[in-house]
A and B are shown apart, each in its own frame.
Chain A
Amino acid sequence: MSSVSILILAPLLLFCFISTLVGIWRLRWAYATAAIGMALALVAAGVGLSRVLVDGELRYFLGGWPPPFGIEYVLDHLSVFMVIIIVFIGFIAVIYPPEAGLYHTPRRGIPVYGLLLLLVGGLVGVVITGDLFNLFVFLEIYSLASYALITLGGDRAVVASFRYLILGTIAGSFYLLGVGFIYFSTGTLNMADAAGLLLPLYGSPTIMAAVTLIVVGMGIKLALFPLHVWLPDAHSYAPPVVAAILAAIQIEVAAYVIVRFMLTIFQPQYFIETLPVTTIIGWVAAAGVIFGSVMAIAQKDFKRMLAYSTVAQVAYVGLGIGLANPLGLIGALLHILNHAFMKSCLFLVAGGIRHQTGLHAIPQFAGLGRKMPLMMGAFTVAALSMVGIPPTAGFFSKWYLVLGGIEANNWVFVAVILASSLLTAVYFFRMIEKLFTTPPESSPEVEQAKEPSSRILTPIITLAAGIIVLGLINALIVSYILQPVAALLP
């Protein structure tokens, strides 16, 4: 038994209260305490990673009640991988200054930072819990926090958030109903316990219905085409920092839930052969990759383009799960990590541009590249990584996905991955060209534009540097963290 897992969650939930309380008095303190909470969680996550690499699975029984009676928290290779991504992106989001990240400094007493910590805490909870119902509770905790945070984007964002709330509740309820079916069939809510008890029940229609409900519910949360309808509005109207967290880590947690059910709660064969879950996810995702990329090309608003690009990029994750072989799964998980860095960097750049110039439509960006070389350099790194140009990180996840497609003899998926790289190149190179080579129109916003302050630049440059570093060390990540996860697949 090891308490590392709960020590990642505890500072997030504790500082959620502290940050909200001191925020009533001084906003600056809310900001500082939130950063401290995230930093503590990040340290605990780092310790957790080093322990998992040495000892393997770490289990913690909440309140000392051993499973299957109590709630347990499990830190294994898959969950520690997700936890590190979540907490790191959360930390970057919290240190990004609010005047750029939230359009304006929130009024005193509005618990923005408390909600950010609650969102990240909920995500961490989903990833580390070993209990089916506890997962539902954390799912709703992070959903509630994100509904509230989206509304900071103004009146349109409230409407978008309300629609997301309705669809998100359907998703959460489907999951709960699925868990109900599993509970009444097996009598347990503990994941490890259920895994054993479900084995003789694989033929039962109740369990098949449960899996269908859970996968559809998580498909809505993952915005898997055609269940993505809520995403473009919610992500483009939300303030940049919130959009960065939502696109980079919040929706990917749903992919984690599907992978968790496929690998450890059920035998992978059940999802691959008994029920055609992976086949359906794969083909739906292939359609989503093309749809998202084409829609992104059609957008003029920078953040809306990024939102459609998210639809395409999470579909890559679905594609990797759909390939149902170790290489495809490694590609999918690596893409979760790479996409988290790339997309949060791009959303923070969108916030920086809006803060420095007030502009948000791509045609108005002409000439900004020369005015803000550092920020636009970081943008270029992230954009190249989205397209998949080596040595940036984005290349390697696509590489594994293509290898997985070849191994599965699924040439349609290989063609989809390559074609969508070209489509991604269309919308990002169009923008890079606009930024650096198109002569600036004589608009006062562009002429007066200058490099943002170091408080805005630091998080952006960190993420851009991270994209290069992840590209260089991807072999280490794959062999030490992802290979043990993928080994569970046949």
Chain B
Amino acid sequence: MVVIDLFLSRYVYLMIVVLLAIGIYGMLGKRNLLKKLIGMNIFQTAIFLFFIEGATKTGGSVPVIDETLGMDAAKYINPLPHVLILTGIVVGLSLTGVALAFLLRIYHAYKTLDDKAIMANMKESSE
């Protein structure tokens, strides 16, 4: 029963680890550059979820001081990880934007997004 309890209380972290693994596989295992980018997004989202999950409290209230709840910090959800992840999302968005611009230029230059084909093309033109 202990194992099941542990699983029920921690299953979100397990999901996050699975998402991280999918992301790493996408970035390093896939040949298509767009799929690498999708892997990168999954990887970052998993980290965002990790922060959000860390801030969760069962029964916690919105972090605005409520007269009925008083000043007890344990009764409110921790707002700081949410704020950090808001910044993290902005960073992730700008990275995705820059990466998509690169992919457009790569596609115009090489007419493909396949890693191996681009490598072959680069080698050919350097000889």
Inter-chain contact A133/B84, CB cutoff 8 Å: yes
> Mask for B88-117, Cβ within 8 A of A = 1, else 0?
100100110011001101100110000000
Tell me the interface secondary structure of chain B in the complex: helix
Given known contacts A170-B27, A173-B43, A176-B88, A148 and B51 CB-to-CB distance under 8 angstroms = no
Inter-chain contact A165/B99, CB cutoff 8 Å: yes
Inter-chain contact A161/B47, CB cutoff 8 Å: no
> Mask for A104-120, Cβ within 8 A of B = 1, else 0?
00000000000000000
Inter-chain contact A184/B54, CB cutoff 8 Å: yes
Chain B interface residue bracket vs A: 20 to 34
Indicate whether A166 reaches chain B with its CB closer than 8 angstroms.
yes
| Residues A335-372 near B (CB distance < 8 A) | none
Inter-chain contact B27/A166, CB cutoff 8 Å: yes
| Residues A142-168 near B (CB distance < 8 A) | 144, 147-148, 151, 155-156, 158-159, 161-162, 165-166
Indicate whether B77 reaches chain A with its CB closer than 8 angstroms.
no
Indicate whether A169 reaches chain B with its CB closer than 8 angstroms.
yes
| Residues B46-63 near A (CB distance < 8 A) | 47, 50-51, 54
Indicate whether A295 reaches chain B with its CB closer than 8 angstroms.
no
Inter-chain contact B43/A159, CB cutoff 8 Å: no
Tell me the interface secondary structure of chain A in the complex: helix
Complex alpha-carbon distance, A159 and B102, angstroms:
8
Inter-chain contact B51/A180, CB cutoff 8 Å: yes
Inter-chain contact B44/A151, CB cutoff 8 Å: no
Residues of A within 8 A of B99 (CB): 162, 165-166
Residues of B within 8 A of A148 (CB): 98
Pick from B24, B84, B88, B102: contact of A158, CB under 8 Å:
B102
Residues of B within 8 A of A36 (CB): none
Complex alpha-carbon distance, A16 and B98, angstroms:
18
Inter-chain contact B88/A159, CB cutoff 8 Å: no
Inter-chain contact B47/A177, CB cutoff 8 Å: yes
Chain A interface residue bracket vs B: 20 to 34
B33, closest chain A residue (CB): A162
**Could you tell me the distance in whole angstroms from the C-beta of B47 to the nearest C-beta in chain A?**
5
Complex alpha-carbon distance, A446 and B123, angstroms:
27
Complex alpha-carbon distance, A372 and B60, angstroms:
72
**Could you tell me the distance in whole angstroms from the C-beta of B78 to the nearest C-beta in chain A?**
9
Complex alpha-carbon distance, A187 and B114, angstroms:
44
| Residues B9-41 near A (CB distance < 8 A) | 24, 27, 33, 36-37, 40
Complex alpha-carbon distance, A144 and B101, angstroms:
12
Inter-chain contact B44/A159, CB cutoff 8 Å: no
**Could you tell me the distance in whole angstroms from the C-beta of A182 to the nearest C-beta in chain B?**
12
Given known contacts A133-B84, A140-B91, A148-B98, A155 and B105 CB-to-CB distance under 8 angstroms = yes
Indicate whether A416 reaches chain B with its CB closer than 8 angstroms.
no
A sample of 10 inter-chain contacts (CB < 8 A) reads: A140-B95, A144-B94, A147-B98, A155-B105, A159-B122, A165-B95, A166-B37, A176-B47, A177-B47, A183-B81
Which residues of B does A touch, CB under 8 Å? 24, 27, 33, 36-37, 40, 43-44, 47, 50-51, 54, 80-81, 84, 87-88, 91, 94-95, 98-99, 102-103, 105-106, 109-110, 118, 122
Q: A151-B105, A166-B37, A180-B51 are in contact. List 13 more A-B contacts (CB 8 A).
A: A133-B84, A133-B87, A137-B87, A140-B94, A144-B95, A158-B105, A158-B106, A159-B110, A165-B95, A169-B44, A170-B27, A170-B40, A176-B88
